[in-house]
Structures are given as structure tokens and as C-alpha cells.
A and B are shown apart, each in its own frame.
Chain A
Amino acid sequence: MKDVYIREKFGTYIIYVLLCNSKYFYKMKSDLNSIEDIKAIRKIMEESSRFLSLSGLSGIFAGVTAIAGALFAYFFILDNGSVHYDEYFKSLSEKEAFSLRWQLISVAALVLVLSILFSFYFSIKKARRERKNFWTPVSRRLLINFLIPLAAGGVFVIALLIRNQVGLIVPCFLIFYGMALVSAGKFTFGEVFYLGILEIITGLVSAFVPGWGLIFWIFGFGVLHIVYGLAMYRKYEA
């Protein structure tokens, strides 16, 4: 009986159902549009304020380079000498110590330059793969915020070298590099900020433990970078 009533009132059953559905879909469509809008807004906000083309591979590469540099320094420059290179330095003449110091610094600088060049290379590759731009206002801001603490650290390390405070060079590298990461972290993945904190802690600890510079260097620049790079690669790229 009821069926007949509906048919009289609203036409056939199918049309009745269709009417209900279309009204439902209409509401759903406008909801979907708003959801899409909000998704787009979030994505644009994130992409325009954070540089997301930083690749985990650059972390791995930087870590490997740092360890290679440290091993090279240990076996070739320090002549398999003790890790406690502070004492080793004291046994050398002024001239020998001077040349040794500059060799060590050159290795460190080479490691830094290679790491930065390769992080550029991997980032450009990643940006290209994702069809994004590499040189944006955010990547510029990231670079400036990274380079200011790093440059300050570099100059400070030179001052330490000239004033014969060799034992504090590795802690300084680690602390200033950590601060560079902390300040750059606002413009890229949040994990970079925490990597920076870990580098600062490593640097501060190493400042209290004289003679273990090479070990702290390997841990701070090698192990931490590799662990970070692997984690980032697996999380965002693999």
C-alpha cells in the first residue's frame, strides 16, 4: 500500500531514489570542494615555507666523507699516531706542528666543501624528480640561516688555530655546525633541528673531554649524519 502511495506522490521508485541521492551528492560535492581547498591551502603553506627537497642521501654522504676524512687524518697525517693528538703536538717542533695543523684543517675543509656540494647535488636531483623548483625564497632563507652560524664558527676556528687552542677546534666545529642546523631547521624538515641539538650536545661533551677529538668528530659528523640520512631516506624517499 505504501509503495503505491509513494509512486503516486513521487513518480516511480527509481526517480524517488535518484532525487534523494542527487541531493545528498550535491551536499557532498560542496563538502569535498572545501576539503580539497583546505588540503591545497595546507600543501601550499608547507611547500612555500619549508624546503622539502633536502635529500637523506646528502646526510649519508656527509657522514661517510667525514669518517673517511678522519681516518685519512689518523693514518696519513698523524702517522698512525695516538688519538690524543694534543700530546703528539707538544712533542713536535714549531714548524712541524704548524704544517701538521694546516694539513688537518685542509682535510676538515675538504670534507665540509664536499659535503655541501653533494647535498646541493642530491637536493637538485630530488627537486627535479619531484618537478619542484630548487632555487626558491625558502631555499635562499634556508641557506642564509645555515651559513651565518657556520661562517662565524669558521672564523672562530681560525682564531683558535692562530692562538694555539687546538684541543677546542673539534668541539667548536660541532657546536657551531649544530647551531647552523638548528637555525636552518625552521626552513626544512623538523628533523634537521633535532640533528642540530644532538651535534651541539656532542660538541659540548667533547669540550670537556680533551684528547678525544677524532672520536667525537667521527661520532658527530660521521655516525649522526649517517643515522639521520638513513632515517630520512627511509621515511620520505624510499
Chain B
Amino acid sequence: MKDLISKINKVFESRVRLGIMSVLMVNETYDFNSLKETLDVTDGNLASHLKALEEKRMIKVNKQFIGRKPNTSYSATETGIAEFRHHLKALENLIRGE
């Protein structure tokens, strides 16, 4: 049981972070505003979770300008994808009680 829980990654222990990773698993890139709408969270909340994931190198940030507007988009890193897959597997195992 202890082993099982240790596999659950602390970085993903929040609904918002789970949401961010889920979106970035199936989309190559996703911009800040669309993430905000998809996950239905506030600016500050989303930004702080994105920051945390970025610091752990789970996602990378691409800043660019569309015309004069700054546009920030995010994508999952290879580590992020691998770690998240692990995390999902652990969640599933926890449910099955293996």
C-alpha cells in the first residue's frame, strides 16, 4: 500500500494540474486563455499551477506575439508526458486495489 501511494506524483495532486496535463497530453500546444476556458478557473489560479508545473519541467512555455498581442502557449515536455502516464497508471491501480 505504501509503495502504491508513493508512486502517485505529488506534482499532479490538484484538479487544476491534472486538468492542465490532460489537455497537454492530447494537444501539442494550448494557449493560456483557451486553457482557462476549458478548465473554468481564474487567471491567478491557473498561472500559479502552470508555474509550478513549469518549475518541475513538466511543461514548457512558448511566448510569442500575434500582431502586437502577446500570446503564451504551453506544451508538455517528454518528462511531463512520461510522468503523467505513470501517475495515471498509479491512479488506476489504486482503484483496482492492486
Contacts and interface: CB of A to CB of B under 8 A. Distances in A.
A41 interface: yes
B31 interface: yes
Interface in A15-48: 30-31, 34-35, 37-38, 40-41, 44-45, 47-48
Contact of A136 (B25, B38, B88, B91): B38
A44 B23 contact: yes
Q: How large is the interface on A (under 10, 10 to 19, 20 to 34, 35 or more residues)?
A: 10 to 19
Contacts of A47: 38
A190 interface: no
Contacts of B95: 31, 34-35, 38
A139 to B, nearest CB: 10
B-side interface size class? 20 to 34
Given A41-B88, A44-B39, A136-B34, A49 B26 contact: yes
Given A48-B38, A137-B30, A37 B25 contact: no
B81 interface: no
Contacts of B19: 40-41, 44
Interface of A: 30-31, 34-35, 37-38, 40-41, 44-45, 47-49, 133, 136-138
19 contacts: A31-B95, A35-B95, A37-B18, A38-B91, A41-B18, A41-B19, A41-B22, A44-B18, A44-B19, A44-B23, A45-B23, A45-B26, A48-B22, A48-B30, A49-B27, A133-B37, A136-B38, A137-B27, A137-B30
